Amino acid sequence: MRILAVETCFGACSVALCDGDAVLAHRLEAMERGHAEALAPMVQAAMAGYDFASLDGLAVTVGPGTFTGQRVGLSFMRGLRLALHKPLTGITSLEAMAAAAMAETGTGRAAAIHDARRGEAYLSLVEDGAMTMPPRVLAFADAIAAIGAFGPCALAGTGARKAQQALGDGFVSSSILHPDARFVAKLAQMRPPPDAAAPPPAPLYLRAPDAKLPGGRDAMTLFEGDPALLAALHAEAFTHPWDAAALAGLLAGPGVFAFAAEADGRTAGFVLARVAAEEAEILTLAVIPSARGRGLGRALMRRAADHAARLGARTMFLEVGSDNPAALALYNGLGFTRAGLRKGYYAAGSQMGDDALVLKAMLPLAGNMA
């Protein structure tokens, strides 16, 4: 079974083309950022001399990992899934590390413990090819205690050495610090291909991203919930709203993401955007009337622009009604300038007017990147 696998969750980017036990091509580069720019050339190099049509399936890590890293690999492979009509299998980053550690040490049990910062660790326990503990985020001390209770095993991840020092004899620290696409492919070959009607793999987030609204309020998250919630917000914000089916279809597309923001104890707005190569597009920005005037729209736009830039986008585009002064003031204040005009773009009677101005900004937005 010929599998193309990619991995971008942590501090490395890797690609592997495997056919059964044979590794036909393999690329791995250590990097803390730049996965979006590196991935496509690495896939092209790995597939040199091979036809994409010869693939039996695709595989990708779904997380846990950095929020940007998870999205890079998933967006790329979800796009290939649609283009090639090939099944895509999702593998957790921690089980791929555990598989590599077991192969290196010759043991049948492994713990993948990876530094998640804030004094926490991502942890998964694997025995005889099965996860006895699916990925979790725990206080580092609790993760070490869980490994101790699991018993002697191979250790993988950036927390492996610290765990070995705490646990002592019987716990073997491997050299595995990051997942490798070779083991992503190997694990995918051991599983039945996903049904064609099944939804594509989704990112595995174990905690919310570090995003804040003005004033330091923790009120913004990368949206992974029910599209019906976004549809309800869109209906409050616009005269001609998008329904849940339309939003679900967009969210399932390659490179699409959404951020939602809270106000007054409820979800009060969201931004939906898409990244393709070096360009990003704002698909919609919605803030309910009762939450306007508080900087929610600006905060959502900055967060979307920041995320798009980290995915490799260099420019961002959007359409805005030519007769929508509040929105124009918002976008102009963020550095967007006019790039074109689309006559009759909006439905008749829309509160945004009939014509749409196409606006463009370079990324990152001024003062936007951390």
Q: What residues have CB less than 8 Å from 101, skipping those under 6 apart?
A: 107, 110, 112, 154, 155, 156, 160, 174, 176
Has 32 been annotated as catalytic? no
The pairs formed by 208-213 with CB atoms below 8 angstroms and a separation of 24 or more are: 209/67, 211/259, 211/303, 213/261, 213/295, 213/296, 213/299
Token pair recorded at residue 99: 């598989």
Laid out side by side, the sheet with 256-263 consists of 220-222, 256-263, 266-276, 279-287, 315-321, 356-362, 337-342
Which of 95, 122, 281, 331 is catalytic? The answer is 331
Nearest to 157 by CA among 104, 106, 207, 201: 104
Cα 361 from chain centroid? Answer: 23
* CB within 8 Å of 213: residues ≥ 6 apart: 219, 220, 261, 295, 296, 299
Helices (H), strands (E): how many in the chain? Answer: 10, 17
* 304 vs 50: CA distance, rounded Å: 36
Asked about 319 being catalytic, the answer comes back as yes
> How far is residue 211's CA from residue 259's CA, in Å, rounded to a whole number?
10
Cβ 113 vs Cβ 143: under 8 Å: yes
**Among 304, 80, 73, 40, which residue's Cα sits nearest to residue 204?**
73
| Main-chain dihedrals φ then ψ at residue 156, nearest 5 degrees | -135, 160
| Contact between residue 153 and residue 147 where contact means Cβ atoms under 8 Å apart | yes
**Half-sphere exposure of 186 toward its Cβ, with a 13 Å CA cutoff?**
19
The residue type of 258 is: A
Tokens for 342, please give them: 């689309």
CA–CA separation, 255 and 308 (whole Å): 9
- Nearest Cα residue to 256 out of 223, 289, 211: 223
Q: Rounded to an integer, what distance in angstroms lies between the CA atom of residue 284 and that of residue 332?
A: 16
Q: Which residue among the candidates 7, 319, 345, 346 is catalytic per the annotation?
A: 319
Q: Which residues are catalytic?
A: 319, 331
